[in-house]
Structures are given as C-alpha cells and as structure tokens.
C-alpha cells in the first residue's frame, strides 16, 4: 500500500520540560540569525522562558506556604503547555492547573503534553478567555508553514507579523468557545498567567469578581495591551505592580508574598 506525501508539522522532542509535542514550524524569522516562537526556542535551546517559569514556581510555592495546599493556578493562553506542565509537575500532590488555549491544533499539543508528562493535576480547555461567555471567531494560520503561533492575535491588536499573512475574514475564521473566569466560580485561585496577545484587559474584566475575592498573584503580558489601563485595573483592586519587561507582576497588598519581593533600580527578585 502506498501513501501520498504528507508534510509533518508536529513532532515529539525531548526537552528540559520533559517530552514535548512541538510544531517544528513554530518560528518567525527576525533576521538570518534570529527567530522567535515557543517551538523554535525548545528545538534550539531545549527550553522556553526558563526565568519566567522559575519565578512562577517560586510564587506558587509561597502561596502554598502562606495559604496551605490545594493551590490553584490558571494558565490563560497556554499554547503547547510549557508553563502548565512545569506548574503541574511542581505542584504534584498539592495543587492543580486549569489551562485555556483557543487554537484547536495547539490545544491538541497542549493536551498531549499533559498526558505525556502524566500531569493529571492539570486540566486543558479548548476555550478563549475573555470578558463574556459565548464564542469568538479566530483566524486560522497554516500550521504547515512557519509562524510564531503563540503570537497569533485572536482579535486584531497590533497586527504583529508572526511569519505568515493572517486573514480575519469571517469565512476564513474558526468559531471557538469563549468564557470569562468568573463564570467558573472556582473555589480558590492563587495564580493567574495571562498571555492572550492584546486581550489581557478583557480577561481581567471577565475575572474581576474572582480576582477581588481570591486576590491571586497575576503575571500579565503587556506588550500588546495598554499598560496604563492594566495598572489602573490593578490599582482599583489594591494590587502592587512590578515591571518584568514583557510582563507585569501584580501582588495584592494583603498577600504576605509581598514580604518576599524586592525591586531595586528596576531589578526584580523574590527570596525563597
């Protein structure tokens, strides 16, 4: 029996994060020597965002120390699950993760990575996070062609070039579920990461009641959102904000984790 040629996009690789399913086309060239993309970093460096992940693990540990086990974290815009896998593995026996990813093909890799790494304390949802419940029409990149798929804007924000031309025409979009954090009525939330390519404020507004109630630590990407609007949201809920470059870290003024944080001349650090 013969089979027609068929391109391969997703591959299995061994990385510092464990066995991971990645898209070998997940890169956007910047110049002859530089590119960006989660898959690109893993395939070329064996890891992705190691410093950011280490910070998150330290913060999760502090939440356990200060508030006890059953720590609960939300990964908003989980991509293939590097953060989710690392958090879930770190919190085995004392915490769990809910991971949300809106791109269906990427979601399959996310779910596969949770299974491969036996992260049964993590739960993946094919869903976009936003300000309301319903659905959202999102563009469909070609996963067999190079692009930084984690940089895809579900709604046009900065219209960053991610490596291939993206169409937002309705006929070329896919409809996926959208939900807001408040609708889940989680009994506890300790940590929220939001990396949703310009929809960060929408996600925060959709989780405002939960955030006010649970006062989680939040790591929010700011490069495609209005930093002033994000800071104003945090200030209204009595959060202290720290600059982490592409991200901002927000810790509630009542959280004892603040005692572990220091910032000197723009350098952020957290003590064990």
The answer to whether 97 and 91 have CB atoms below 8 angstroms apart is yes
Mean pLDDT of 13-26: 98
How far apart, in whole angstroms, are the C-alpha atoms of residue 112 and residue 36?
A: 23
Model confidence at 235, pLDDT cuts 50, 70, 90, reads very high
Mean pLDDT of 144-171: 94
Residue range 127-143, pLDDT digits in tens? 999 999 999 999 999 99
The per-residue pLDDT for 156 is: 87
The per-residue pLDDT for 102 is: 98
Residue range 34-44, pLDDT digits in tens? 999 999 999 99
Mean pLDDT of 53-82: 98
Residue range 214-230, pLDDT digits in tens? 999 999 999 999 999 99
Buried b (16+ CB within 10 A) or exposed e, 216-234: bbbbbbbbbbeeeebbebb
Give the residue ranges of DSSP H helices in the chain: 38-45, 50-67, 82-90, 104-116, 200-206, 208-214, 227-236
**Residue whose structure tokens are 């993309």:** 37
Q: What is the largest CA-CA distance in the chain?
A: 67
The answer to whether 252 and 263 have CB atoms below 8 angstroms apart is no
Q: How many other C-beta atoms are found inside a 10 Å radius of the C-beta of residue 244?
A: 16
Domains of the chain: 49-140+170-270 (3.40.50.150)
Mean pLDDT of 25-53: 96
104 pLDDT higher than 80: yes
């Amino acid at each position: 029996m013969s089979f027609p040629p068929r391109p391969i996009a997703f591959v299995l690789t061994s990385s510092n994060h464990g066995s991971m399913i990645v898209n070998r086309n997940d890169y956007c060239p910047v110049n002859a020597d530089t590119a960006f993309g989660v898959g690109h970093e893993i395939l070329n460096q064996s890891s992705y965002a190691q410093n950011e992940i280490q910070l998150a693990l330290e913060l999760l540990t502090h939440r356990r120390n200060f508030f006890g086990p059953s720590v609960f974290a939300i990964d908003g815009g989980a991509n293939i699950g590097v953060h989710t896998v690392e958090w879930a593995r770190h919190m085995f026996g004392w915490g769990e993760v809910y991971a949300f990813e809106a791109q269906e093909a990427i979601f399959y890799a996310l779910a596969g990575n949770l299974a491969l790494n036996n992260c049964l304390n993590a739960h993946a949802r094919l869903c976009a996070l936003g300000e309301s419940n319903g659905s959202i029409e999102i563009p469909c990149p070609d996963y067999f062609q190079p692009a930084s798929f984690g940089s895809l804007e579900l709604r046009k924000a900065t219209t960053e070039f991610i490596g291939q031309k993206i169409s937002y025409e309705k006929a070329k979009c896919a409809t996926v579920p959208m939900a807001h954090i408040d609708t889940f009525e989680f009994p506890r939330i300790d940590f929220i990461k939001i990396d949703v390519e310009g929809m960060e404020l929408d996600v925060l507004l959709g989780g405002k009641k939960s955030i006010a109630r649970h006062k989680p630590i939040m790591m929010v990407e700011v490069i495609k959102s209005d930093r002033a609007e994000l800071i104003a949201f945090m200030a209204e809920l009595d959060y202290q904000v720290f600059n982490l470059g592409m991200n901002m870290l927000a810790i509630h003024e009542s959280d004892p984790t603040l005692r572990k944080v220091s910032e000197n001349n723009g350098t952020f650090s957290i003590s064990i």
